[in-house]
Every structure is written in structure tokens, then in C-alpha cells.
Structure 1
Amino acid sequence: MPPAPRKTPVSRKPTFRQAYESDASGRPRKKTVARKPARKKKKGLSTEWKFMIVILLLVLFSPFYYAYVIKGFSSTWRWIRDIGEDPNYRTYSSFDIRIPKGYNIHGIDVSYYQGKIDWKKVKDMKEDDVKVDFAFIKATEGLFMVDPYFQRNWREAPKAGVICGAYHFFRAHKPGLWQAKFFLQTVNFEAGDLPPVVDVEELNGVSASEMRKQLNDFVKHIERKTKVKPIIYTGLSFYKDYLKGNFENYPLWIAHYHQPKLKVGADTKWHFWQHSDKAKISGINHVVDFNAFNGDSLAFDRLLIK
């Protein structure tokens, strides 16, 4: 049997897709893939900028920064509030009084009238550069009266770091010598204390000369026993009327309230000025007398008992 004839392959027309994907010779075209445009790499922050940002954050979150801002705000508010006030005699809101400028050492004087005192709060109180550096504490009066709060105040104030002095309220119609003895029996003065103080404000029915005689007996006895000149406290009017020209060798403490300056002559050598009787002090539930020392820290230190 003869072999069957081979079938001639039938040429088929290319499909539309084949024709589209082939070139003129019929070979398949290479597919061209559209490339996506390359993305440009974003540049990061430079090291210098990063460093600056870190520094800025540290400053903003620093308590010192906010302290500076608050201080600046407080200073501005203080300036606004003081408009129209005498810059040498302005109000201190914490103390609720006006305080004359030019004095660096301030203090108070207290008695049973102020009641129980929290001396730590007294010491911690401060506005601008004004704080309580010293305190004069009432000890005795006349011949028999001891202030009921003296021992407590005399013990607790130094513990809080307040420099103390003790004073006697003088009665001119009582023997000055015996008043001085009574005062020294009550108070034990030590190195670092302020000198003893005698508070003389009244004639108590005797003449000015008799008052001066008894006061002289008092201060002489105190000086002999303590080797320190006592301080004489009095009001401005009482000083001008009865004491001026006498006791010039003794430290002088004058009361003259609510004035920008102590109105005494340049020849008057005074050490302390009680310029207000209405100060409000932290730790004390009653108004308090407020005082300024006439001198710097060296002069104040020289005044203390050695």
C-alpha cells in the first residue's frame, strides 16, 4: 500500500493580536514595558538643623527658661503696678506695706500681742531682696512683768536663723536700776545676739529730768554687766522733746511711721528705724512692726554681742 501523502500545512491568516504583536517578517515584537519615573529621594534635615532643634527643645522644656520668663513678666507687672508711686518708697504686696529703699537689712519686733509665731515661715518669707533678718523680742516690763511668749520666741527664733535681741519696756516712775536687774535676770544674752534694748515712750507722771535719771541708771547697769552699750528705743516726738542731746553715745532706735524718710537731723546718729506698725508677716497672725537697719552687713555684724 503506497504511503499516504503528507498533508500540506494550511496557511492560516494571523489573528489580529498576532499581527499586532509581530513585525513585518512575522516575528513577535519585543514588548516594551513603560518604566515608571524614578522617584527623587527626599533630602533629610542636616545635622546642624537637627542639633539646633534639640537645643531649642531643651531650652523650651527647661525650668530655667520658664523661671526667666516668669521673672520677666513679674518685673513688667511690678513696673506697671508702681506707676505713680515714689520709687524710693514703694509697696511690697507680700508685706502689705510700703518699704523705703536704700536699706538692705530688715527686721521686726514682737511681743505677746503677736501670739504664737511660726518662726520658720517668718524666716522663709521674701519679696525681691526684702526679708526678715532680725527680730527684737519683748522680755520684760517695769519691775514684775515677764512677757508670756518671751521664752518661746527667744528659743525658737534663733533656731530658724533669725538674729535676735531682747527689749525691756521702761516705766519712768520705777527705779531704773531695779528694772535693769529684773531684765537681766530674765534674759541670758549670748555672742551673736543684738544688744539689749530699753523701750522708753512715756513719762509715767514724772518730770523729764527724773525720767532721764532713771533711764541713765538703767543703761549704766546694763553696760556694766554685759559690756555692751544698750540700744535706746523711742518715738520721734518723744526723742525730740525729752532725749535729744542726751545719751548720744548709745545706739538709737526711732519709731516714725509711714514716711519715705526718717525726719531727723543729719547730726542724729541712729541705728534702727521702725517705719511701719502694720506689716503682715508669714507665720504671724497679727500685724507687726517693721524696721530697717541704718548700715551695711559689716556695720550690723559689728553691732552684735561678741
Structure 2
Amino acid sequence: MTSKDIKNRIKTRDLTLLVIFLALVAWIRPTFHQSYGSDQSINQTSLDKTQSTATITGLDASHFQGEIDWNTVNHDGFKFAFVKATQGTDFTDPRYQENIDALKTTSLLFGSYHFFDPSQDALQQAKFFLQVTGKKHNLPPVLDVEITAGVDKATIQQNVLQWLTFVEKEISCTPIIYTSTDYWNQNLGDKFNRFPLWIADYTTSLQRPSGVDQWLFWQNTNQAKIDGVTTLVDHDIFNGNAEKLASATCGLNP
């Protein structure tokens, strides 16, 4: 074989290897993009999965999420869930009872929340919430406070406190306040420090409200993709271990 033949064979081999390499790249790239991609919600899912291995995680949902496969959620490593029960003085979430019935078949700890309207009668809202939920939760009830509805700060504080103290007395369990850092700073504040706090703060590092040393739950995104839920959903982190979560229950028997 001449040196020219050898050079030609080497060129042919190199060209063949290049074609194979390019074919592999073309096959791998779409697979990688579909699995991880650049979509924020997909990246958030990867973050959530990582957090699930290191912390106690859960989710909260309402009828906006449609039908949820709670057994799939349960088996995917989540430990707790909150579902919307009521809003104002007369709205019951259409999927509340369905969610509660399904959650009872899992090992998830769960609770119910009320979306608070500061412009409506606080006592009527509290009574309506308890009328719908009774004791259908083992985690404490939650008051979701995130709108002002045109009401001034002093009235918001008065109404929120009335709801919390009435529910606490009726079921002998201290409710949780759900709110954002900004809302707490602008409308609530120190007089509510004795109530457990669930903070909505969509950052990679929790920004606690002014004067707050302790928090119970952190809603770190509303864009999570979770198996068993067909839409984007709120993702939450518990501030503690499994034993602390179990001790945070109301001792109720839903």
C-alpha cells in the first residue's frame, strides 16, 4: 500500500467519524432540550426535586388546578398539602370536598385555607369557613391574607384578628397566617407575631418580613410542575423536619 493510499484511508476514516459524531449530536440535543430545556417552570421543577431530597416539601391548590392525583403526589416524596376551602362569606371552592376525600386516602398531612376579603364581615367569614370545613384537616387552618379590597390598614388588622381569634377559640387550634413579605410589612406587622406564618416569597433565598424571626411554611414558587397535577401549582417548604411537621398538627381527626 502506497503512502498516498494510506493518507486517503485516514481521510476516509476521519470523515466517517465526523459524520457519526454529528449524528450523535443531532440525536442528543433535542432529547436534552425536552428533558430540561430553558423554560423557567421546567428549571423550577428540577429545583423542587432537589429540595425534596433535603427538606420537607408540599403544595397548595384550589379548583384552578383541576382534578389532582393526590396518590401520585404522595408517592413523589411530598409530605403535606393545603387546599382552598372558602372565600369571603359565601364562596366554597368547587373541588374542596373532592380534594379532602382524596387526601384522606394518602399519608399526606393536610389543611384547609380561607381566602380573606377585608371588605366583608370577618366574623361571618370565620363562621362560614368552619361551617364548610368542620374539622376536615389535621394541619392548622390557614387565613390567606393578600388583598386590601380598598380597606385601610387599621381595619384590615382588626378584621384579620377577629377571624383568627374566633377560629382559634372554636377549634382549640391556632390558625396560620398566609401572606407575602410586602403585605405583612405594609398591613399586618408585630401584633400578629404569635400566629404561625406561611410566607409567599418567590426568591431563591427567603426574605422574611420585618420583625419576624420564625416562619412555618415558605411558598417559594407558584410555577412548579408536579406529577399528579396537570397545571402549574404552588410549591411549599416546611421549616423543620418530619417530626416537627407532625407536632404542628392540631390533633384533629379528619
Q: Is the 8 A contact 2:80 2:110 kept in 1?
A: yes
Aligned residue type for 1:150: Y
Q: How do 1:92-107 residues align onto structure 2 when only pairs under 5 Å count?
A: 95-97=45-47, 104-107=55-58
Q: 2:94 aligns with which of 142, 148, 172?
A: 148
Instruction: Give the direction of change, closer, same or farther, for the CA distance of 1:201–1:185 in structure 2 (3 Å limit).
Output: same
Q: How do 1:32-181 residues align onto structure 2 when only pairs under 5 Å count?
A: 95-97=45-47, 104-125=55-76, 131-181=77-127
**Could you report, residue by residue, the CA deviation over 1:231-272 in whole angstroms, capped at 9, with x for unpaired residues?**
000011101111121211110000000323344468422100
Instruction: Give the equivalent residue in structure 1 for 2:199.
Output: 254
Instruction: Give the equivalent residue in structure 2 for 1:25.
Output: none
**Could you report, residue by residue, the CA deviation over 1:53-82 in whole angstroms, capped at 9, with x for unpaired residues?**
xxxxxxxxxxxxxxxxxxxxxxxxxxxxxx
TM-score normalised by structure 2 residue count: 0.77
CA–CA distance in structure 1, aligned partners of residues 58 and 143 of structure 2: 17
DSSP 3-state at the match of 1:95:
helix
Q: Which has the larger radius of gyration?
A: 1
Q: Is the 8 A contact 2:52 2:78 kept in 1?
A: no
Q: Is the 8 A contact 2:220 2:237 kept in 1?
A: yes
Aligned residue type for 2:97: Q
Q: 2:233 aligned with 1:288, yes or no? A: yes
Aligned residue type for 1:95: T
Instruction: Give the equivalent residue in structure 2 for 1:206.
Output: 151
Q: Is the 8 A contact 1:110 1:289 kept in 2?
A: yes
Q: 2:242 aligned with 1:297, yes or no? A: yes
Aligned residue type for 1:180: A
DSSP 3-state at the match of 2:45:
coil
Q: Is the 8 A contact 1:97 1:278 kept in 2?
A: no
Instruction: Give the direction of change, closer, same or farther, for the CA distance of 1:199–1:212 in structure 2 (3 Å limit).
Output: same
DSSP 3-state at the match of 1:108:
strand
Q: Is the 8 A contact 2:190 2:211 kept in 1?
A: no
DSSP 3-state at the match of 1:217:
helix
RMSD: 2.5
Which sections of structure 1, spanning at least 5 residues, go unmatched?
1-90, 126-130
Q: Is the 8 A contact 1:122 1:282 kept in 2?
A: yes
- Which one has a larger percent helix, Structure 1 or Structure 2? 2
Which sections of structure 2, spanning at least 5 residues, go unmatched?
1-40
TM-score normalised by structure 1 residue count: 0.64
- Which consecutive aligned stretches of 4+ in structure 1 deviate over 2 angstroms post-superposition? 91-104, 260-268
